[in-house]
């Protein structure tokens, strides 16, 4: 029996991810909504399409809706997800420029150091 080998990966034990065998989908739209507790909700709409080389009757079309909630602390993850969705739609996403600090304001002057306009010396 040693010549046959291990057949444990055959039959029910052999699995393939559902995503790799599922019907392809195209992103048609997405929306960002205000969520609870200061977070956001990224809502995605997909349309199922017929795989290449297959009959359309074998793969009925349809729509798929997905929601991805992000808490207030997950702003960077939400922005990254929106960037991924825009890339799926064929839009080039530029990296946000690093924020520059605001220009330094002149320190406030006290009244004794303020120059007095000419002609106002006597009031």
Domain extent at residue 44: 23-91
In a domain, 72, yes or no: yes
Q: Is the pLDDT of residue 99 over 80?
A: no
Task: Render pLDDT for 37-93 as a digit per residue (tens, 0 to 9).
Answer: 889 999 999 988 877 777 777 777 788 899 999 999 999 999 999 999 999 888 887
Q: What does the chain come to in residues?
A: 123
| Of 100, 82, 10, 7, the residue nearest 40 (C-alpha) | 82
In a domain, 59, yes or no: yes
How many domains does the chain fold into? 1
Distance CA 117, CA 82 (A): 57
Query: Any idea what the Cα angle at residue 70 is, between residues 98 and 33, rounded to 5°?
Result: 90
In a domain, 103, yes or no: no
In a domain, 48, yes or no: yes
Structure tokens at 94: 């530029």
In a domain, 123, yes or no: no
Structure tokens at 117: 């306009």
The residues that bridge with 83 in the sheet, in sequence order, are none
Task: Render pLDDT for 17-29 as a digit per residue (tens, 0 to 9).
Answer: 555 556 678 888 9
When comparing pLDDT for 100 and 123, which is higher?
A: 100
pTM across the whole model: 0.53
In a domain, 115, yes or no: no
């Amino acid at each position: 029996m040693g010549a046959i080998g291990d057949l444990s990966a055959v039959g029910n034990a052999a699995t393939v991810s559902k995503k790799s065998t599922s019907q392809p989908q195209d992103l048609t739209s997405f929306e960002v909504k205000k969520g609870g507790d200061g977070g956001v909700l990224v809502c995605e709409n997909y349309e199922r399409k017929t795989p290449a080389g297959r009959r359309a009757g074998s793969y009925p079309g349809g729509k798929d809706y997905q929601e991805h909630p992000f808490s207030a602390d997950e702003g960077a993850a939400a922005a990254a997800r929106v960037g991924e969705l825009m890339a799926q739609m064929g839009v080039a996403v530029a990296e946000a420029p690093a924020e520059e600090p605001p220009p330094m304001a002149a320190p406030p002057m006290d009244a004794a150091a303020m120059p007095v306009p000419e002609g106002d010396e006597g009031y």
